[in-house]
Amino acid sequence: RAWRWGWRLTYLSSIAGVAWVGYGIYQDRHPDEQIEPDPSKKTLVILGTGWGSVSLLKRLDTENYNVIVISPRNYFLFTPLLPSCTTGTIEHRSIMEPIRTILRQKKASVKYYEAEATSIDPERKIVRVTDNSEVKGATTETEVPYDMLVIGVGAENATFGIPGVRENSCFLKEIGDAQLIRKKIMDCVETAAFKDQSPEEIDRLLHMVVVGGGPTGVEFAGELQDFFEEDIKKLIPEISDRFRVTLIEALPNVLPSFSKQLIEYTESTFKEEKIDIKTKTMVKKVTDKTVEAEMQGPNGKEKVVFPYGLLVWATGNAVRPVIRDLMAKIPAQKDSRRGLAVNEYLVVQGTRDIWAVGDCAVAGYAPTAQVAGQEGTFLARLLNNMAKTEALEEKIRDLSGSLNLKPGNAAEVSREIEEYERQLRRIKDVKPFHYSHQGSLAYIGSEKAVADVSWFNGNVASGGSLTYLFWRSAYLSMCFSSRNRLLVINDWLKSKLFGRDVSRE
């Protein structure tokens, strides 16, 4: 009997789940009519369509402002699954969500300009924007005035001015980067398999070097080794014993932000996967075929040269030029090095009406999607409250003014004012931003992952195949939309059943 009830419940909850997803899809395809923005309201300009800005947009009551979004990228990118796109485990469009679709779901319409902000003038309250897309119209540059500005432009790749890095490396930040890596892996493999290729050249072409042992470098190295083991090796067996992956890290270990036990687990897993980790090795120069580094050995520093076919550079973040330019205009930012210093309400120090979120802001947290997302959500609440506060204050002003005009209704009007004042006190009481760390996850290859997860004020560290299932379900649930979720599941199934697609576009 208990079994029967168990089955019934499972059946009903599955139907409810499917109905819920179906309703979500229907809502997305048939959004309500949008209201036009009210020109008397303040203009809120939001720069960027990444984790910070999109989390803000998701929760912002757009009817309170004239909202304008400016970004050269007309989609949101789910970065945690980007390393999987470099090998075709996931197709790139599965983790992109068009910004137009996101904005169409809002109650009041939002303007979007596909452009890059090139400079911000906090005195004149103006953003200069440039259309850098391939198709150019008669106007490619203009100014956008703002009353309030939110900056969420993220960061660019750090190269530390090391010679040859920009010219010869692939990075891993955007969709285009992942596509280029995918193309280059197969280019190296096919060129190595070319008739009469010399053994030294085959070794060089099949040597895949990753610089930077942070989560980006580690996840990419794991994905690459999987690709080789599960697909390349089977399709082109003649080169199978020559393919090598080397991960170079300047510090004594990889994944410095994870717990010691998980660092050891990752390093031992990489050893089993035959990924060569070179720690205490600092890259100093890159040429078109070699990486030159300084390795700290037992007898001091020694120079090492790694010939490579593919080089992926993943050494973290640097400040974008538009942010550097703005920082130079604000005296209060002169000591900030890693981005815009913000206060506990994410207001850019030394400015009025400018906020910053995500990787371009320095709030004392790591530059992660989790932080950017929570900052965006916090700012949405703050801006919604500010709009409500202004509306309530205006109502109180109007009612106070009408008290003398309608002496007969004085008691009723006073009660109304009191009610608005009570609402105002509640709304005004916004606590400063506080980041709540949910944990860190990273895929390390061979269907294994590591996780440092916060659990009842403590920390649980785990690594292995079960953690991999947790990693998959966590990222699946975090995907932006039901569409993304279905596409990602489809890609996982497809690459498992038929293998990854090795054709080169």
Footprint of ligand FAD on this chain (CB under 6 A)? 47-53, 70-73, 79-80, 82-83, 116-117, 152-154, 172-173, 216, 320, 322, 358-360, 367-370, 372
Nearer to ligand NAI, 120 or 441 (CB): 441
Given candidates 122, 367, 439, 499, which one binds ligand NAI under the rule CB under 6 A? 367
Q: Which two tokens stand for residue 342?
A: 């913000």
Number of neighbours of residue 465 by Cβ within 10 angstroms: 11
Question: What, of ligand NAI, ligand FAD, none, does residue 37 touch, CB below 5 to 8 Å by kind?
Answer: none
Is residue 181 a contact partner of residue 312, using CB atoms and an 8 Å limit?
yes
Site for ligand NAI in 279-298 (CB under 6 A): 282-283
Our CB check for ligand FAD shows the closer of 140 and 414 to be 140
Measured CA to CA in angstroms, residue 320 lies from 327, 359, 429, 459 at distances of 11, 10, 34, 34
**Residue span 149-188 as binding mask against ligand NAI, x where in contact by CB under 6 A, dash where not:** -------------x--------------------------
Of the candidate residues 43, 89, 94, 315, the single one contacting ligand NAI (CB under 6 A): 315
Shortest-Cβ-distance residue relative to ligand NAI: 214
Number of shown-chain residues binding ligand NAI (CB under 6 A)? 27
Q: What, of ligand NAI, ligand FAD, none, does residue 116 touch, CB below 5 to 8 Å by kind? A: ligand FAD
Taking Cα atoms as reference points, which of 253, 264, 266, 353 lies closest to residue 42?
Answer: 353
- CB nearer to ligand FAD: pick between 172 and 211: 172
Residues 70-109 that bind ligand NAI (CB under 6 A): none
User: Least separation, in Å, of the C-beta of 460 and ligand NAI?
Assistant: 16
Cα angle 7, 11, 13 (rounded to 5 degrees) comes to 115
At residue 472, what are phi and psi to the nearest 5 degrees? -65, -45
Helix (H) or strand (E) holding 493: helix 482-498
Query: To the nearest whole angstrom, how small is the minimum distance from the Cβ of residue 269 to ligand FAD?
Result: 18
Comparison of 153 and 441: residue with beta carbon closer to ligand NAI: 441
Alpha helices in 199-273, H assignment, sequence order: 199-205, 215-227, 233-235, 260-272
Q: How far is the CB of 384 from ligand FAD (least distance, A)?
A: 19
Closer residue to ligand FAD (CB): 281 or 370: 370
Neighbour-count burial of 381, counting CB atoms closer than 10 A to its CB (0-12 exposed, 13-18 middle, 19+ buried): middle
Structure tokens at 383: 């801006």
Instruction: Choose the contact partner of 307 out of ligand NAI, ligand FAD, none; CB within 5 to 8 A by kind.
Output: none
CB of 400 to ligand FAD, least distance (A): 42
Long-range Cβ pairs for the range 287-295 (8 Å, 24+)? 287/164, 287/168, 288/164, 288/167, 288/168, 289/204, 291/209, 291/211, 291/248, 293/248
Give the one entry of ligand NAI, ligand FAD, none that residue 72 binds, where binding means its C-beta sits below a cut-off of 5 to 8 angstroms depending on kind: ligand FAD
Q: Taking the complex as a whole, how short is the minimal distance between the CB of residue 416 and ligand NAI, in angstroms?
A: 50
Question: Which alpha helices (H) appear in 240-368, and where do they start and end?
Answer: 260-272, 321-329
In the region spanning residues 190 to 219, those forming contacts with ligand NAI, defined by CB under 6 A, are 211-217, 219
Based on the shown chain and the rule CB under 6 A, indicate whether residue 403 belongs to the binding site for ligand NAI. no
For residue 235, the partner it binds in ligand FAD, ligand NAI, none, with Cβ less than 5 to 8 A by kind, is none
C-alpha 50/C-alpha 66 separation (Å) is: 20
What's the CA dihedral at 289, 293, 298, 300 to 10 degrees? Answer: 130
Rg (CA), the chain: 26
Under DSSP, is residue 494 helix (H, G, I), strand (E, B) or coil? helix
Pick one of ligand NAI, ligand FAD, none as the site partner of residue 70 (Cβ within 5 to 8 A by kind): ligand FAD
Indicate which single residue of 256, 297, 321, 364 sits in contact with ligand NAI (rule: CB under 6 A): 256
Other C-beta atoms lying within 10 Å of the C-beta of residue 141: 11
Query: Nearest approach, Cβ of 453 to ligand FAD (angstroms)?
Result: 13
Q: Is-contact 114 71, C-beta < 8 A?
A: yes
Nearest residue relative to ligand FAD (C-beta): 50
| Pick 275 or 371: Cβ nearer ligand FAD | 371
By CB under 6 A, name the binding residues for ligand NAI: 162, 211-217, 219, 248-251, 256-257, 282-283, 314-317, 366-368, 440-442
